[in-house]
Structure 1
Amino acid sequence: MKAKPYMNPYLAGFLLGLVLLTTIYITGRGLGASGGVKSVVLTLISDVAPTHTANTPYLANYAETHPGGPLKDWLFFEIVGVLIGAFLSGVISNRMGLKLERGPRITNRTRIVAAIIGGFLFGLGSQLGRGCTSGAALSGMGVMSLGGIITMLAIFGTGYFFAYFFRKLWL
Structure 2
Amino acid sequence: MRPLRPYAEPHITGVCLGLVLLACFALSGQGLGASGAFASVASGVVGAVSPETAGHSAYFQSYLQDGSPWTAWIVVEIIGVLIGAAASAALAGRTRLTYVGAVRPSGGKLCAGVAGGILMGIGAALARGCTSGLALSGGAMLSVAAWIFMLALFFAGFLAAPLVRRLWP
The 1-side partners of 2:112 and 2:42 are apart by 23
Aligned residues: 168
8 Å contact kept, 2:35–2:129: yes
Is 1:67 aligned to residue 67 of structure 2?
A: yes
**2:97 corresponds to:** 98
**2:86 corresponds to:** 87
2:112 aligned partner, one-letter code: A
User: Could you say if the C-alpha distance between residues 90 and 67 of structure 1 is closer, same or farther in structure 2, counting changes exceeding 3 Å?
Assistant: same
What displacement does 1:101 show? 4.6
- When normalised by structure 2's length, the TM-score is 0.87
User: Could you say if the C-alpha distance between residues 105 and 75 of structure 1 is closer, same or farther in structure 2, counting changes exceeding 3 Å?
Assistant: closer
8 Å contact kept, 2:109–2:168: no
What displacement does 1:14 show? 1.0
Task: Choose from 117, 123, 126 the match for 2:115.
Answer: 117
What displacement does 1:103 show? 6.9
The C-alpha deviation readout for 1:116-168, integer Å capped at 9, x for no partner, is 22221111111222321221111001111111111221222222221211112
What displacement does 1:12 show? 0.9
8 Å contact kept, 1:105–1:169: no
User: Could you say if the C-alpha distance between residues 168 and 133 of structure 1 is closer, same or farther in structure 2, counting changes exceeding 3 Å?
Assistant: same
1:115 aligned partner, one-letter code: G
SS class of match (2:30): coil
1:125 aligned partner, one-letter code: G
**1:130 corresponds to:** 128
8 Å contact kept, 1:102–1:170: no
| C-alpha RMSD over aligned residues | 2.1
8 Å contact kept, 1:140–1:148: yes
What displacement does 1:34 show? 0.9
What displacement does 1:69 show? 2.3
Gap regions ≥5 residues in structure 1: none
| Aligned pairs (5 A) from 1:44-55 | 44-55=45-56
8 Å contact kept, 1:30–1:139: yes
Gap regions ≥5 residues in structure 2: none
SS class of match (1:97): coil
- When normalised by structure 1's length, the TM-score is 0.86
Is 1:139 aligned to residue 137 of structure 2?
A: yes
The 1-side partners of 2:166 and 2:104 are apart by 7
2:7 aligned partner, one-letter code: Y
